[in-house]
Amino acid sequence: MTATAEVSAVPDLATLQQRAAQRAAERAGGSDRLRGHIVCDGLVRIFKTEGVEVVALQGLDLVIDRGELVAIVGASGSGKSTLLNILSGLDTPTAGIARVADYDLLALSARRRLSYRRRVVGFVWQQTGRNLLPYLTARENVELPMRLAGRLRGRAGRRRATELLEMVGVAHLADRRPGQLSGGEQQRCAVAVAVANDPEVLFADEPTGELDEATGADVFGALRTINAELGVTVVVVTHDHAVADQVRRTVAIRDGRTASEVRRTARIGEDGSTELVSEEYAVLDRTGRMQLPAAFVDALALRERVRLTLEPDHVQVRPGQEQSQSDGGSAE
């Protein structure tokens, strides 16, 4: 597979990522402790409905380092929401390894799972109504998790809630209830609520799915700020490729497995400006399996079997003998 590259001018993304890594290292106690904050190895999730088994995750592998901001994309039914539910402690995997911040998610007791959800992870739902209590103000919604966890109360809690609301750009709306806020304002408040207890990881399930493009950009800007200023690892599930283009790493899931990744690195252009170079890679699991991009498969009409040829610096993939006689073509 040949990596594809495109260049777009994004002046501040590299700076935000560097700041996030610094904050994350401070939280972890050193830059040598950043690796493998989230680890999935051979992760399997099987649902049984009326005697029918549905395999949502089929041996998924994924590693996310502390302080990363990662977008997970995929078509409906690809398994991305199932993965997020497992990592956030809302669901239990069938088999494999799922570990977040040294918590083994397959072996959690009910009490430890509750502690994990309260203290280690924060969550932002797509539906704005699920994130905030309608009878509390924005500030009171942010204060509530701190009170329940017994962390900050009184003036200290109020001050911290105001700081978080300011961080996501809605401090001027602190005394309004959710019904008095727009959808985008509610979601930015929800981000502040999700990090009220200073979690290590923030998960967001389609946080901009019900918003227009401009409002969605504001919400994602809030997630980037939280990532940069607090060093919180942020994982966003989305089908919005405009959102996915705003992160340094995008992981695509297809048929319950990680299929490809897009990594973006900052480079200095000839005019001195910062450019972001995007390169797409296929994901190779530890057994040597990979998924060819659907566009490649369709372009060469690949079916059932393919021929592999090892070249000095690459592997050539060609249609099987029966196909090559009628179709021809190869992918490298």
Q: Which pLDDT tens digit goes with each residue over 42-66?
A: 999 999 888 788 889 988 999 999 8
If one counts every other C-beta atom within 10 angstroms of the C-beta of residue 194, the result is: 26
Per the structure block, which two tokens stand in for 194?
């999700």
* Tens-digit pLDDT profile for residues 125-150: 988 888 999 999 999 999 998 888 77
Percent of the chain clearing pLDDT 90 (strictly above): 36
Per the structure block, which two tokens stand in for 262?
């897009």
State the pLDDT at residue 3.
45
Separation of alpha carbons 91 and 168, rounded Å: 29
State the pLDDT at residue 31.
59
Residue with tokens 């994924």, as numbered in its chain: 62
Listing DSSP states for 186-230 in one string gives HHHHHHHHHTTT--SEEEEESTTTTS-HHHHHHHHHHHHHHHHHH
pLDDT band for position 326 (cuts 50, 70, 90) = low
Average pLDDT over every residue of 199-216: 88
Phi, psi of 81 (to 5 degrees): -70, -35
State the pLDDT at residue 217.
86
The whole model's pTM is what? 0.82
Q: Which residues pair with 263 in a beta bridge?
A: 249, 279
pLDDT band for position 211 (cuts 50, 70, 90) = confident
CATH value of 5-120+199-282 in 2.70.98.40, 3.40.50.720, 3.40.50.300, 3.40.50.1000: 3.40.50.300
* Tens-digit pLDDT profile for residues 64-97: 998 899 999 988 888 999 999 999 999 999 999 9
Q: Where is average pLDDT lowest: 15-19, 127-131, 266-270?
A: 15-19
Separation of alpha carbons 138 and 131, rounded Å: 11
Domains of the chain, residue spans = 5-120+199-282, 297-326
pLDDT band for position 324 (cuts 50, 70, 90) = very low
Identify whether the C-beta of residue 25 lies closer than 8 Å to the C-beta of residue 31. Answer: yes
Burial string for 84-98 (b: 16+ CB within 10 Å, else e) reads bbbbbbebebbebeb
pLDDT band for position 327 (cuts 50, 70, 90) = low
Residue 202 has pLDDT above 90, yes or no: yes
Instruction: Find all residues with CB under 8 Å of 86, minimum gap 6, and list them.
Output: 43, 45, 57, 92, 93, 98, 105
